[in-house]
């Protein structure tokens, strides 16, 4: 299967998996519980100073972390596990840009999108996926980007 065909197939697969959007990147953090219900996950939350970290653990072993600022905005999401999470759910209005840019890239290996207002990184292989996406202008000033993982 060619690289372009793989990306196209992945994009179609991700769109087909998608459902209604809730606590998406850039959205309101109050709807994290909707994500918990949709993903049928357990939820744990911890105060990390300038943000709250909400960790969703699915029955299949995928973990999704949503970073919510004190202002109540989801400024970052990260994931890892044996299955890709519903990226349309997590990326919300950024999902279309993510898929468009993913289709335009050349080469193999991990996906990296680095724009002024949106950064996404994703990689892995069957049963071992990981990634993160964040909004640079929404990350609290005292939060190091390296902590988003």
The predicted structure's pLDDT at residue 80: 97
Instruction: Please choose, from the candidates 28, 78, 83, 24, the residue with its C-alpha nearest in 3D space to the C-alpha of residue 56.
Output: 78
Domain boundaries, the chain: 3-147
> What tens digit of pLDDT does each residue of 91-127 get?
989 999 999 999 888 777 899 999 999 999 999 988 9
Please tell me whether residue 132 adopts helix, strand or coil conformation. strand
Kindly state the average pLDDT of the residues 76-97: 93
Q: Are strands 128-134 and 119-125 parallel, antiparallel or unpaired?
A: antiparallel
Q: What is the pTM (predicted TM-score) of this model?
A: 0.81
- pLDDT band at residue 23 under the 50/70/90 scheme: low
Q: Give the CA radius of gyration of the chain.
A: 15
Determine the Cα–Cα distance for residues 24 and 13; give it in Å rounded to an integer: 19
Determine the Cα–Cα distance for residues 68 and 89; give it in Å rounded to an integer: 16
> What tens digit of pLDDT does each residue of 28-69 get?
887 788 888 888 899 999 999 999 999 999 999 999 999 999
Q: Which two tokens stand for residue 24?
A: 């998406």
Contact yes or no for 144/51 (Cβ under 8 A) = no
């Amino acid at each position: 299967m060619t690289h372009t065909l793989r990306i196209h197939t992945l994009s179609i697969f991700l769109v087909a998996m998608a459902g209604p959007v809730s606590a998406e990147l850039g959205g309101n953090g109050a709807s994290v519980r909707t994500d918990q219900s949709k993903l049928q996950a357990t939820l744990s939350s911890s105060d990390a100073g300038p943000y709250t970290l909400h960790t969703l653990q699915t029955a299949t072993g995928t973990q999704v972390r949503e970073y919510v600022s004190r202002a109540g905005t989801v400024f970052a999401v990260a994931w890892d596990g044996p299955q890709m999470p519903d990226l349309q759910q997590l990326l919300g209005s950024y999902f279309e840009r993510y898929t468009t840019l993913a289709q335009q890239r050349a080469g193999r290996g991990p996906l990296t999108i680095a724009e002024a207002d949106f950064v996404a990184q994703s990689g892995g292989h069957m049963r071992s996926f990981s990634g993160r996406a964040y909004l640079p202008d929404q990350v609290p000033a005292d939060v190091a980007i390296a902590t988003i993982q």
